[in-house]
């Protein structure tokens, strides 16, 4: 039963990653069909991010009342409905409206599953869980490409992914008894029934009052600033800052995401030997090495290529290991609330930091890309060491 539930959780995380890259892959076609400017994709993305922030902050309250299994099933169902709605959207503003339940659903799945795995499973499963998310982000664009190349159009790309989400929702509903039978889980964590000592939701104010909570929130913001800025701006940095041709830059930029996915698969095995704090430090060291390599003037710009791959490998263990260490630092009774706030901080970093670098690139210099990554790396290291002093 335990292994079956874990398999369901893995599939849920593949599903979580499936739609994440769809908008970017489909938008050039969508914008023409809907008569929307190319830049308006940012409005959809920010609306989704706002929804994920709200649901992440509410995750502690919802999970206490309904249980992780029910929250996950309903959240995936909301995402499925939104994706299918995308496929029938007649205009841009319908997409904006549908982005709200899309974001709420995605944030609910993210916060509930991350905390559940952090509490109930070993660190290696957290790394492999996020590896599965990476697999989903790689599959999604291929599904959209299949729909576009086959003449079906972008609506069918969203429809295929939405239908997969519907199947997963049904699977999660039938799997609800597995959450109840998970050994070591409290009634509040699994089926939403009252415990003999029910606790109240902490809320944002309660989380911020816990020593070390602010540090781990800033760590998440910094990590997501590094990851999403690299994903969005690496190609532009290579073209505009290094003089690399567009085709080569696009190909090299994709290696960053491959580095994260492969790195998380490897991290799962490494966590069998190294603790979460050690894995985080290994990741931070690799990011530093990768940034340094980007600045080394090697022939054919190989420093940039190798540097991006190393940065991706360095990013790999940080996110899952920080989440997995949360119950150890703050206790299982507080972990859902803190993980929810962590997710909200992560989404804030993902939503705001890449556009801020865009302004720096436009009005100062895009060559500051490595320095921008280094700034957030240093801040993340300082916050991690402060957290270790307070809670280690």
Cα 47 to Cα 33, 43, 237, distances in angstroms: 21, 6, 27
Residues 223 and 265 in one domain: yes
Question: Which residues, at least 6 apart from 106, have a Cβ–Cβ distance to it below 8 Å?
Answer: 16, 19, 48, 51, 52, 55, 75, 79
Residues 157 and 67 in one domain: yes
Residues 350 and 284 in one domain: yes
Q: How far is CA 347 from the centre of its chain?
A: 8
More confident residue, 378 or 169: 378
Evaluate whether residue 104 is within a structural domain.
yes
Closest C-alpha to 234, from 304, 131, 301: 304
Residues 152 and 223 in one domain: no
Residues 85 and 6 in one domain: yes
Closest C-alpha to 340, from 147, 18, 126, 114: 114
Closest C-alpha to 171, from 378, 376, 5: 5
Q: What is the per-residue pLDDT across 101-125, written as a single tens digit (0 to 9) for each?
A: 998 888 887 777 877 888 777 888 8
- Asked if pLDDT for residue 97 goes beyond 80, the answer is yes
Evaluate whether residue 187 is within a structural domain.
no
CA atoms within 13 Å, Cβ hemisphere of 350: 20
Cβ atoms of 317 and 296 within 8 Å: the answer is: no
Evaluate whether residue 44 is within a structural domain.
yes
For residue 36, report the phi and psi dihedrals to the nearest 5 degrees.
-110, 140
Cβ atoms of 336 and 206 within 8 Å: the answer is: no
Evaluate whether residue 39 is within a structural domain.
yes
Question: Which residues, at least 6 apart from 211, have a Cβ–Cβ distance to it below 8 Å?
Answer: 390, 391
Residues 83 and 231 in one domain: no
pLDDT in the model for residue 186? 44
| Domain-terminating residue out of 122, 144, 179 | 179
Q: How far apart are CA 140 and CA 211, in angstroms?
A: 40
- pTM confidence score: 0.78
Evaluate whether residue 199 is within a structural domain.
no
Cβ atoms of 54 and 107 within 8 Å: the answer is: yes
Residues 286 and 162 in one domain: no
Q: What is the per-residue pLDDT across 288-321, written as a single tens digit (0 to 9) for each?
A: 999 999 998 888 788 888 999 999 999 999 988 9
Residues 265 and 387 in one domain: yes
Domain range holding 335?
Answer: 206-391
Of the listed ranges 64-68, 122-126, 149-153, the one predicted with least confidence: 64-68
Evaluate whether residue 200 is within a structural domain.
no
Residues 19 and 125 in one domain: yes
Instruction: Write the CATH number for 237.
Output: 1.20.1250.20
Cα 255 to Cα 104, 194, 224, 263, 323, distances in angstroms: 30, 48, 18, 12, 25
Please give the DSSP secondary-structure letter assigned to residue 18: T
Residues 145 and 213 in one domain: no
Evaluate whether residue 256 is within a structural domain.
yes
Residues 369 and 256 in one domain: yes
Q: What is the per-residue pLDDT across 166-224, written as a single tens digit (0 to 9) for each?
A: 988 898 888 888 777 554 444 444 444 444 455 666 677 788 888 888 999 999 999 99
| Domain-terminating residue out of 179, 198, 223 | 179
Residues 221 and 175 in one domain: no
DSSP 86-148: HHH--SHHHHHHHHHHHHHHHHHHHHHHHHHHHHHS-HHHHHHHHHHHHHHHHHHHHHHHHHH
User: Domain tally for the chain?
Assistant: 2
Evaluate whether residue 185 is within a structural domain.
no
């Amino acid at each position: 039963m335990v292994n079956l539930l874990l398999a369901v959780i893995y599939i849920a995380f593949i599903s979580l990653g499936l739609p994440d890259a769809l908008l970017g892959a489909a938008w050039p076609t969508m914008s023409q069909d809907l008569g929307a400017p190319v830049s308006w994709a940012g409005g959809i993305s920010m609306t989704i991010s706002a929804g994920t922030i709200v649901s992440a902050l509410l995750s502690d309250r919802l999970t206490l009342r309904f249980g992780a299994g029910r929250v996950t099933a309903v959240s995936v169902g909301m995402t499925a409905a939104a994706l299918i709605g995308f496929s029938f959207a007649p205009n841009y503003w319908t997409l904006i409206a549908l982005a709200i339940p899309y974001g709420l659903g995605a944030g609910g799945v993210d916060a509930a599953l991350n905390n559940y795995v952090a509490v109930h499973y070993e660190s290696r499963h957290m790394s492999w869980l996020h590896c599965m998310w990476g697999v989903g982000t790689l599959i999604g664009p291929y599904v959209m490409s299949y729909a576009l190349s086959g003449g079906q159009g972008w609506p069918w790309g969203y429809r295929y992914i939405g239908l997969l989400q519907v199947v997963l929702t049904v699977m999660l509903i039938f799997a609800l008894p597995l959450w109840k039978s998970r050994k070591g889980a409290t009634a509040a964590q699994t089926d939403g029934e009252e415990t003999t000592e029910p606790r109240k939701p902490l809320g944002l104010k309660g989380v911020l009052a816990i020593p070390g909570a602010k540090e781990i929130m800033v760590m998440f913001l910094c990590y997501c600033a590094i990851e999403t800025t690299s994903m969005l701006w690496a190609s532009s940095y290579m073209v505009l800052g290094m003089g690399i041709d567009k085709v080569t830059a696009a190909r090299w930029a994709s290696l960053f995401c491959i580095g994260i996915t492969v790195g998380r698969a490897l991290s799962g095995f490494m966590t069998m030997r190294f603790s979460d704090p050690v894995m985080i430090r290994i990741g931070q060291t690799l990011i530093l090495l990768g940034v340094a390599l980007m600045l080394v003037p090697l022939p054919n710009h190989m420093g940039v290529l190798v540097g991006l791959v190393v940065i991706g490998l360095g990013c790999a263990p940080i996110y899952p290991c920080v989440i997995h260490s949360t119950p150890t630092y703050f206790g299982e009774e507080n972990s859902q609330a803190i993980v929810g706030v962590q997710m909200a901080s992560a989404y804030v970093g993902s939503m705001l930091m890449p556009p801020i670098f865009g302004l720096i690139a436009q009005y100062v210099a895009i060559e500051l890309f490595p320095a921008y990554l280094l700034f957030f790396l240093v801040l993340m290291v300082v916050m991690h060491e402060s957290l270790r002093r307070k809670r280690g």
